[in-house]
Amino acid sequence: MMFSRIKTPLLFLVLLATLTTVALGQTRVGFYSTSCPRVETIIRSVVQAAQRSTPGVPAGLIRMHFHDCFVNGCDASILITGPSSERTAPPNSLLRGYEIIDTAKTQLEAACPGVVSCADILAIAARDSVLLAGGIARWNVPTGRRDGLVSRASDTTNLPAFNDPVNVQIRKFAEKGLNTQDLVTLSGSHTLGTAACALFSYRLYNYNNTNGPDPSIDTTFLSTLRNLCPNGGDGSTRVNLDTGSANRFDNSYFANLRSGRGVLESDQLLWGNPTTRTFAQRFLGVRGLIGLTFNVEFARAMVKMGNVEVKTGTQGEIRRDSLGRPRISFQVARTKSRYDCVPGTLGFANCGTKQAFRQTIGSLEPSAFSLNDDCDLTATRQETRHPLWLYLQNMVFGKSIGSSSASATNCDEEEVEYQEEATVGNEEVSRVQHTEDHTTPNDKQSKAPEGYKAPSSEKARTTLLDECVRDVDKNLSAFKDTWYSQGLSIVSDGWTNIKHKPLINVLAVNSRGAMFMYAEDFSGVEKTGLAIADFLNKAIESIGPSNVLSVVTDNAANCKAAGKEVEKVYKHIFWSPCCVHTLNLIFKDFADAFIWLEDTYKNGKMIVKYFLNHGQALAIFRENSKLELLKIAKTRFASHYILLKRVTTVREALSTTISLNSWRDRVKHGDEHTRQVGQIVVETIRNDYFWNDVDQILKITKPLYLMIKFCDGEGPKMGDIYEKMDNMLGEIKDVMSSCVFSSYYPEVEDIVLRRWEKMTIPLHCLGFALSPRFYDISYLETLAPGGVRRKAPNHDKEVVQGVMEAFSRIAENRDEERMLREQFASFHMKKGLYSLPGAQLDAVTMDAIDWWSTYGTETPELAEVARKVLSQPITSSSAERNWSTYSYIHSVKRNRLTCSRADKLVYVHSNARLCSRFSEAYKEGPHKKWDMNPE
């Protein structure tokens, strides 16, 4: 053990240096340094966002990368869709994370079109997954892979299986150029993730037809697994592969093997074989063996595996999307008679690509299409709705070919020929020749069904609009149903419309989304606390007071007064200031309190302002920078951090700009004021002390900036805000302890705590106390940022006081309040169902709301409170975003809209988008999360 501790730093540095400088195969580190420098930043942000919403993301991405590399090499063939593609094979049926790679690919195509391969995205995402789960500091991933063109389910037969003997596992790894140590090391990735009961339940009841369990399973663990996977039970139930630290990347997986707690047979067999057991023991630091550091060895093995049979140079392709849709250029000729009278047929202009196209079609569905000698592509009757057929119709013709509506036209008309060029799988279609005249909108209207009469503008903006409102309201029933089980919060914000009229909106928000209710014109009304309170109370009554838990507004004095008035009327409703607004005020408090921060920010702002206000200077700068300087609006959150961060990013470009002759000539010929300010800008850019201060300030304020981003994101955060605030302060303390401004930390802490006291409410404490993962032993054993020892919520005096106050306000009477206290004790003392191993394991991995829905029957009243509290928002951001929709509808071009009509249009637009989120098309497919900004 002592040997391994002494050697670890040196080993780590040597291996990381090797991974940084050596490129295995033809890949290399920094392949995209010039062609797409932000590639890793973009991928990391996508993976981080996914991991925050779904803790199981790291395991899914690592496993997907493994399965991809073991079938025809690391070429992203696992991502290709199709009836017989790899992803349809049984070993890949439970893979997760496709949508993450697709999101990353979409963003990278926007930033660097046609540059980054899906194979590289998958390799980098797998590395980032390890880091997010607590792995070592970043290792460099060699890149330059290209994407494969072939994906066959039949090629997956040689994937390592869950019941493979050790000798078979060694053989399969050796076939890919990986040795026994690589086998044991990469198997250690099972420290993350879950397995379905169907994959190992045979070990629990009838192992090798013995009518008994696998003797290598620990007896206590056997009982736990049998409770989770009863004989004949649901085989799809998921069980953590690593008991105790399912979402943390560490070496506890090997300790579980030593204790007979390996879930999969292939894993446990590694401890039973002397050769593989030696490597597992070395990861555990067994006395007498040279120790290995699992994190470091895993990085080495991942780089090695990531270069298995890679395609580089001119091999393969760079896909334009992660799904790998077939891409073949062809020309299609259609005549009116063909189009109208031969259902399911496309006529090719020539057969030059006939064979290649037939191969593409055949690889997807051999029986679906046929291509005859006359170059007619025909879909069988049952395949006229085939996805590829529909794709061809929409991409080439923009409408359905061979549909019943088309067949009704006159087939005796003179044939009109067209030639069109299309690329299957591309989003662009080039119309190369049209012999018909372009039709005008009036022509199209004349082709409407006989007898059709377009509605008048009056009818459209009255009767039909009201009908749309009613239809949307009916579709919102699924969302409104969640009000009874999850409760909701009234979120409100003010705005001034295009006619300079003050408006205040109301949204109903919970974990399922934000429903726009209405906006009211406050023209001629003094916005006092009482007036706003009456407005909010009306909204509460329209929903039903029993469903409302909190009211969230901004931090203005009149809003605070309104919140207090609401609390007087409804004892159980809590007013909460917007957490994002409060956190943003901390930046301003810092600037007011610390002259070094204010001066640095002013100097950075001066640089930005000078360039943006002088066109020639800005033009010179743009010649040397791909990024723009940011002029931050006063209402923008974290403006201090954002401005200084961008200035730091473009520092090199700024330095280059002021060293050019064109810059000196421009300043020389400017007026005296321009020369004076320009000289100050030059001196500031050349001042190393300024850049050192910027660097220190960014490090100090980064935790605050990340906290603002967290709070401003989608979804409920009530259960996390309390712990996140403590962690933020600890992170600031860690940074300041080793910087030149360390003496200012007590003042920083005082500012943060003063703002926290104004922001926190009893619901924050209750949400923290009802989050089961904060009682996990592994969590409590780790130190919090700042070196503070973590405490369970029930051991924190301030939290318990907040919980008791919340119970006193939520309960209708003293008996109900006492019952909630007793059930809370059962919960945190882990009595009854809460003592089950499964409940404790799921407390860490499962969403808190889902956890209470699963195990809350032990304390039903407390479970109902928990589901409602944990579903509530902590910011008014949804109400602020709603004004973007409002400004889009009630714009300068539509300034004649009345407020009431604009209100209806916003209601239809916003809530139709909310309803779409409940559909399967929103969750999966090409229109997944269509309304979300990928940035």
Residues carrying an active site annotation:
67
- Give the CA radius of gyration of the chain: 31
Q: How far is CA 922 from CA 658, 731, 931, in A?
A: 49, 37, 9
Question: Do residues 710 and 717 touch, judged by C-beta distance below 8 A?
Answer: yes
187: closest CA among 274, 297, 90, 77? 297
d(CA 386, CA 394): 12
Question: Do residues 929 and 922 touch, judged by C-beta distance below 8 A?
Answer: yes
User: How many other CB atoms sit within 10 Å of the CB of residue 395?
Assistant: 17
611: closest CA among 639, 630, 591? 630
Q: Within 13 Å and on the Cβ side, how many CA atoms surround 221?
A: 24
807: closest CA among 727, 871, 862? 862
Q: How far is CA 837 from CA 244, 405, 776, 831, 845, in A?
A: 10, 61, 12, 12, 13
Enumerate helices (H) and strands (E) in the chain, giving the number of each.
42, 15
Task: Map tokens 């996508």 to a residue.
Answer: 46
Task: Write out the DSSP string of 886-900.
Answer: HHHHS-GGGTT--HH
Question: Do residues 122 and 97 touch, judged by C-beta distance below 8 A?
Answer: no
* Amino acid letter for position 268: Q
b/e map 465-483, b = 16+ CB within 10 Å:
beebbeebeeebeebeebb
Question: Do residues 638 and 708 touch, judged by C-beta distance below 8 A?
Answer: yes
326: closest CA among 379, 387, 382? 387
d(CA 58, CA 62): 6
H or E segment at 108? helix 98-111
Task: Write out the DSSP string of 900-935.
Answer: HHHHHHHHHHHHHHHHHTTSHHHHSSTTTTTTS---
* Amino acid letter for position 219: T
d(CA 461, CA 897): 10
786: closest CA among 740, 745, 730? 730
Tokens of 90: 């049984």
d(CA 137, CA 130): 10
Q: In what order do the strands lie in the sheet with 430-434?
A: 369-371, 376-379, 345-348, 329-334, 418-423, 430-434
13: closest CA among 124, 127, 123, 137? 137
d(CA 32, CA 115): 8
* Amino acid letter for position 695: D
Tokens of 1: 């053990």
DSSP at 771: -
Q: How far is CA 876 from CA 25, 479, 492, 581, 713, in A?
A: 52, 19, 7, 9, 11
**Three-state secondary structure string covering 487-530:** CEEEEEEEEECCCCCEEEEEEEEECCEEEEEEEEECCCCCCCHH
DSSP at 712: H
Question: Do residues 259 and 237 touch, judged by C-beta distance below 8 A?
Answer: no
CA 660 distance to own-chain centroid: 42
* Amino acid letter for position 640: H
